[in-house]
Amino acid sequence: MRFNLLNTSNRVPANRKKIEALRCSGALNRHPEKVRHPLFAQHDFFDPHDLVQLKYETLRAVQLDGHPIAQAALDFGLSRPAIYEVQQKLRQAGVEGLLPQKRGPKKARKLTPDVRRYLEELVGAEPDLQGAVLVQRVRTRFGIVLHRRTVEKAVRKKGRHRA
């Protein structure tokens, strides 16, 4: 087994503004200390905090330099499944596939057009109904459990403003 331990004390301190920008965009590597590849220790250009750059350099090492994925995982501080996933994303979407994607649901999936119409009817007939009551009525009619805030936001978008 090969161990690749580098002296990281000569690394340039992290640029706080860049770290914050990477964090805001979802591209911050949460474990830069796991990156042991010589490029990231010897050159300021290579930033172990930049997850997009790290993914790209990992794939370059595997595909062009012929490094085994297991070794690349150790050198670049990524898991083997993460490297396979990045390979697939690069094949499917090109370099854009390396960019972070928004996590979680992209839109309200329980608020179907039927549920929205029902909420509009309820609020139209009784404008002072509270969110909790609307949630209970949707649950009774559709068997769907919605959060009170989800219902309140949907109703607010349609023009009903609560004081």
Rounded to whole angstroms, what are the CA distances from 105 to 68, 73, 102, 109? 35, 29, 9, 8
How many Å apart are CA 110 and CA 150, to the nearest integer? 10
Per-residue pLDDT of 61-72, as tens digits, reads 999 999 999 999
pTM, two decimals, is 0.59
Burial of 29 (0-12, 13-18, 19+ CB in 10 A): buried
Distance CA 77, CA 60 (A): 15
**Residue pLDDT, tens place only, 103-154:** 777 777 888 999 999 999 999 999 989 999 999 999 999 999 999 998 998 8
Q: In the chain, where are the structural domains located? A: 16-98, 113-157
Count each helix (H run) and each strand (E run) in the chain, helices first.
8, 0
Which three-class secondary structure state does DSSP give residue 50?
A: strand
10 pLDDT more than 80: no
Residue 35 is given by DSSP the state: -
Contact 123, 151 (CB under 8 A): no
